[in-house]
Structure 1
Amino acid sequence: MRFFNTEGPVRPEDHYCLPPLSRWDLDQVLMLIDQKKYFLLHAPRQTGKTSCLLALMERLNAEDQYCALYVNIEAAQAARERVEAGMAAIIQAIASSARWRLGDEAADTIALEVIQGGALLGGVQEFLTRWCGQSPRPVVLLLDEVDALVGDTLISLLRQLRAGYEQRPQHFPQTILLCGVRDLRDYRIHASSETEIITGGSAFNIRAKSLRLGDFSADEVRRLLTEHTLETGQHFTAEALERVWTLTQGQPWLVNALAYETCFEMREGRNRIRPIDRDMIEQAKEALIARRVTHLDQLADKLREARVRRIIEPMLAGTALGEVPLDDRDYLVDLGLLRRVNDGGLDVANPIYREVLPRMLASGPQDSLPRIAPTWLDAYGKLDPERLLQGFLAFWRQHGQPLLGSAPYHEIAPHLVLMAFLHRVINGGGTLEREYAIGSGRMDLCLRYGEVTLGMELKVWRPGSPDPLAEGLVQLDDYLAGLGLDSGWLVIFDRRPDQPPIAERTSSTPVVSPAGRRIQVIRG
């Protein structure tokens, strides 16, 4: 039985999959190869790059016009700035791949001679010159994980490939495709400290084109999920198909992970008679986030990087980006964290990432929370909004100030502490949805627990700015209208200096919004 793949390249005999070569412009790729071009393929991690490269290798070798070889050179990352060790690792990776993929024993002999010769600073160029010179067909070399290399090791590789370019195709690869997460068109190569920029894109100025492997389209998501239906007879409802697309926006790993969780991990999903519905997709999403699966955990780990924080923090706070370098913005797009929307702005790539980013940042405050009695539940275990309000005010007065220090992003520390509290409230029995965007000036939260839906807007009163009350009420009206609610909370965090302690300044006042809604204005 085949299944949805969440680890490594796809194997059609094992995995539901779309034909890998259908996901990019194959005619363009073949034209670039025929024209002896060197080019790039980049895309975020776990989007199918390796599957595409392996499929391209098989296609080219089956046609017998070229000798195509896929090589993963990630092992050379361990060399860091030790260039000779890095070159030796790359040579060995190419020779090993040639032996077991092509049955080429000569590559091992050439590699051994080059490495033992000791002139490893130009070793990759020498190896490729000799290996391609004895190949009966022009070589097409597909190098994966190139941007895993660091500093001088990466520079040396790129410059050796550039130096051998004039020898193609008789004594150097006819085409070299470099593959990685980042686009090398404007490459910034850092030392291992990741602070000092060593060089720019001139180390590989022979590249003809940079191709990006995109996410699935809505139709491709449907086709992939239908593979399961055709094989097992188990259908996805129309609402479930739409929900998978909405939550993932076609990010390939997320699509496969949601489907695998639903169809193979959840007990009710393993009942092939039962259709997969929207609620099951929602449960699968929550399970993936709660388990901090590797893909999402790696994503969250990026939040520690300074250049990621420079964008994500103001985005969560709803403030303008300010002077953030283009390279930093491109970096987050290349990682797949953000996407460029039609009007040229930046947005989080999909709703699951939108959920994960603040939740991961709130994990520190959440772990720091004291034991809190669930005073917000009535005698029947139902959420009482008035009790929740009083419970939050008491919590904020007592614990708000010390917990702010547990938040990793200072500008949105109050937001993160509030979210940590609300996660303790729902505790697996509800959901907390978030809306935020650059320049919006706010973060919106929607808490759902049983029959209760509570909409909130979070604003910050910053130094030199007027009281955000009036603006917040208008914005909250719009948000509540979308939720179909006639009441909600407006939470204003006062970050101006020289204010009384949180325990003294925290208050709650009922007001009526411009649209006539009942609003609790909470100041803290």
Structure 2
Amino acid sequence: MPKWFNVAGPCKADIHYMLSPLARVPQLEQLITQQGYFVIHAPRQTGKTTAMLALAQQLTASGNYTAIMVSAEVGAVFPHDPGAAELALLGSWRDRAENHLPPELHPPIWPEAAPGQRIQASLRAWSRASKRPLVIFIDEIDSLQNETLISILRQLRSGYPDRPNHFPHALALIGVRDVRDYKVSSGGSDRLNTASPFNIKIKSLTLRNFNADEVGQLYSQHTAETGQGFEPEAVNYAYDLTQGQPWLVNALGKEVVEELVPDPTETVTVAHIETAKEVLIRRQDTHLDSLASVLREDRVRAIISPMLAGQELGVIHSDDRQFLIDLGLVVRNPAGGLMPANPIYREVLPRVLASGPRDSLPVIRPSWLDTDSTLKADRLLDSFLSFWRQHGQPLLKSAPYHEIAPHLVLMAFLHRVVNGGGTLEREYAIGTDRMDLCLRYGDVAIAMELKVWRDNRPDPLKAGLEQLDRYLSGLGLSTGWLVIFDQREGLRPIAERTTTEQAMTIGNRPITVIRG
């Protein structure tokens, strides 16, 4: 049977290329031997479910345990009705057990119990009836909310002291968030802010991404299956783009070998990986779309907005910073500060945020193209100035992050330009006080430095010219644009204050300064 790169749901060894699902989750068997109750949290599509399915099968096959992975997701539709959620969960769990365990290990008939006690009573009955120590892995636990979530966690805590004879020998909660970030609405907070009422956990574990060697191993499975090779540089580039995020690694491979290079006699190159990256970002498949959906949360915005603008992060609660790390959106830069978790996410974040302004754009004739489709920088500048003066003010209202609305509107315009066959590269980081853009279209490259002039701050012209000079030097370009968005109070309308002027950098590079 042929195998494929998997981008939907748990991996299946008979049809998917996959690495050892347990290699990236250390200590699990030791925790189970210790009768541990623990948490596994990691971003979506990193292999949590695959790993725990494999471990449950392995433990059951050993003859030493009755191990099963169940899901809490069916209870998510009853956030304020624990009784209804319990019935849905127990029905789903029975189906799961009967489908994946031998008959002699099936649970007994669930006992009668009052709402709010059914999970504890049922797990107690199953533990007593089981011929082996019972191990339960509860997936999608953080899909539960409010009274239902609190009820389930309290029942698990209440039964914990009775293990292993009268409650599961070991148990894991599996989700995107750590326990402290489970969603509740009681008490005026949307988080538990503490491990309680699951303070019985002995450890919180996460799954690491693939390392560079593992990306090569995964892609080499396709080579062994079909004969189609990957250039070493292509494998390295795939790792650089994804930083080993499992879904992205598989998605690049799938796009390349099924769509871009379906002929197995053709070797996969860096150019193929680059094209696949652009396709994934433009298409925003389910994984990328689900990441983008959290950008609407206030505590996410509080970090992503200054990151895109290059501002200081300010006072942000440590739990909020860790929340974004747990989601896989950002990582801690070894040199300091938070940054997007990988180059693909670095592109996705501003593109998603610019989608509102982009959908609000008027029809713009591509006057920046010559008859042979060559991009003319002077025409592009004229077209942008005309667009900005006419439409900039109203389009600012369509941007979801007010603090960086000008950046998002400019990027929306530039996306209209590159949709004809170019690319737009971005560089941004907390504390740099800028965003760098490089528009490439054919043989033409235009570097842009975006700065904001805020109240009680000096004109950013001097700092911008110095920063743009360094950016141009790194790109090997001789000229560029410095765009200064003036966001001080009491200004004239954008149409009246938008101007251009010429300046020179300290490296004697001629610069067009755009003030708007």
1:120 is aligned to 115
Number of the residue aligned with 2:207: 213
Equivalent position to 1:239, from 233, 244, 266:
233
Equivalent residue of 2:197, what SS? helix
Does 2:2 align with 1:11? Answer: no
Following superposition, the deviation at residue 357 of structure 1 comes to: 0.7
Structure 1 contact 70–141 (Cα < 8 Å) conserved: yes
Aligned with residue 168 of structure 1, among 150, 157, 163 = 163
Give the CA deviation at 1:104: 3.9
Is the partner of 2:204 in helix, strand or coil?
A: strand
Partners of 1:398 and 1:45 lie apart in 2 by: 42
The correspondence for 1:248, drawn from 232, 242, 249, is: 242
1:151–1:198 contact (8 Å) kept in structure 2 = no
Please give the per-residue CA displacement for 1:67-96, whole angstroms capped at 9, x wherever unaligned: 111111211111111111112222222222
C-alpha spacing 1:142/1:501, structure 2 compared with 1 (3 Å): same
**8 A contact 1:42–1:179 mirrored in 2:** yes
Deviations 1:196-252 (A, max 9, x none): 556732201111111111111111111111111111111111221121111111000
Does residue 510 of structure 1 match 2:505? no
Report the more deviating stretch, 485-494 or 387-396: 387-396
Q: Is 1:349 aligned with 2:341?
A: yes
> What SS does the corresponding residue of 1:140 show, helix, strand or coil?
strand
The letter of the residue matching 2:204 is: S
Q: Are 2:301 and 1:306 aligned?
A: no
Q: CA deviation at 1:262?
A: 0.7
Counterpart AA for 1:5:
N
Instruction: Give the secondary structure class of the aligned counterpart of 2:414.
Output: helix
Poorly superposed stretches of 4+, deviation over 6 Å? none
Residue identity in the other structure for 1:401: Q
Measure, in 2, the Cα distance between the counterparts of 1:344 and 1:378: 44
Which of 474, 477, 484 is the matching residue for 2:476? 484
Query: 1:444 is matched with which residue?
Result: 436
TM-score (norm 1): 0.95
State which drifts further: 60-69 or 90-99.
90-99
Query: Could you tell me which amino acid in structure 1 is paired with residue 254 of structure 2?
Result: Y
Matched AA of 2:328: G
Residue deviations 1:401-458, cap 9 Å, x none? 1111111111111111111111111224100011111111000001000000111100
* 3-state secondary structure, aligned to 2:196: helix
> Counterparts of 2:283 and 2:193 in 1: how far apart (Å)?
40
- Compute the displacement of 1:36 (Å): 0.9
Superposition pairs of residues 62-77 of structure 1, within 5 angstroms:
62-77=61-76
Stretches of structure 1 that go unaligned for 5 or more consecutive residues are: none
Aligned twin of 2:173: 178
Query: Separation in 2 of the partners of 1:286 and 1:11?
Result: 28
Q: 1:302-330 deviations in whole A, cap 9, x for unaligned? A: 11111111111111111111122222111
**TM-score, normalized by length of structure 2?**
0.97
Q: Please give the residue correspondences for 1:279-294 in structure 2 after superposition, counting only pairs within 5 Å.
A: 279-294=271-286
In 1: Cα distance, 2:98 partner to 2:267 partner:
47
Tell me which amino acid in the other structure corresponds to 1:62: A
- Cα deviation for residue 294 of structure 1 reads 1.0
Amino acid paired to 2:376: D
* 1:463 alignment partner in structure 2: 455
1:81 aligns with 2:80: yes
CA distance in 1 between counterparts of 2:228 and 2:132 reads 47
1:462 and 1:494 in contact (8 A); partners too: yes
| Amino acid across the alignment from 2:396 | L
Moved more, 92-101 or 236-245: 92-101
How far apart are residue 345 of structure 1 and its match?
2.1
1:286 is displaced (CA, Å) by 1.4
Cα distance between partner residues in 1 of 2:403 and 2:428:
14
Larger helix percent: 1
Q: 1:338–1:193: structure 2 CA closer, same or farther, 3 Å change rule?
A: farther
Secondary structure of 2:439's partner?
A: strand
Deviation at 1:110, TM superposition (A): 2.1
Partner residue of 2:406? 414
The superposition leaves residues 273-296 of structure 1 with CA deviations (integer Å, 9 ceiling, x where unpaired) of 111111111111111122221111
Instruction: Give the distance between the partners of 1:162 and 1:179, measured in 2 at CA.
Output: 16
- Tell me which residue corresponds to 1:261: 255
Cα gap change, 1:309 to 1:239, in 2 (>3 Å): same
- Output the CA distance in 2 between the equivalents of 1:51 and 1:279: 31
Q: Deviations over 1:145-165 (max 9, x none)?
A: 111110121111111111111
Kept in 1: contact 2:149–2:184 (CA 8 A): no
Residue 104 and residue 307 in structure 1: after superposition, are their counterparts in 2 closer, same or farther (change >3 A)? farther
Quote the Cα distance in structure 1 between the aligned partners of 2:501 and 2:128: 81
Matched residue of 1:8: which SS? coil
Relative to structure 1, is the Cα distance of residues 379 and 509 closer, same or farther in structure 2, using a 3 angstrom cutoff? same
Structure 1 distance, partners of 2:327, 2:504, is 44
- Equivalents in 1 of 2:190, 2:64: separation in Å? 44
For residue 341 of structure 1, report the CA deviation from its aligned partner. Answer: 2.2
CA distance, structure 1, for counterparts of residue 113 and residue 221 of structure 2: 52
Query: 1:180-201 CA deviation, whole Å, 9 max, x = no partner?
Result: 00112x3454228995556732
Aligned 8 A contact 1:146 1:178 in 2 = yes
Name the counterpart of 2:330.
338
Cα separation, 2, equivalents of 1:260 and 1:197: 37
- Gap runs ≥5 in structure 2: none
Q: Greater shift after overlay, 486-495 or 153-162?
A: 153-162
Quick one: which amino acid aligns to residue 155 of structure 1?
Answer: I
- Match in the other structure for 2:151: 156
Asked if 2 retains the 8 angstrom alpha-carbon contact of 1:99 and 1:105, the reply is no
Distance 1:370 1:193, change over 3 A: farther
| Corresponding residue for residue 397 of structure 1 | 389
Task: Provide the secondary structure at the position in 2 that maps to 1:479.
Answer: helix
Question: Counterpart of 1:202 in 2: which secondary structure?
Answer: coil
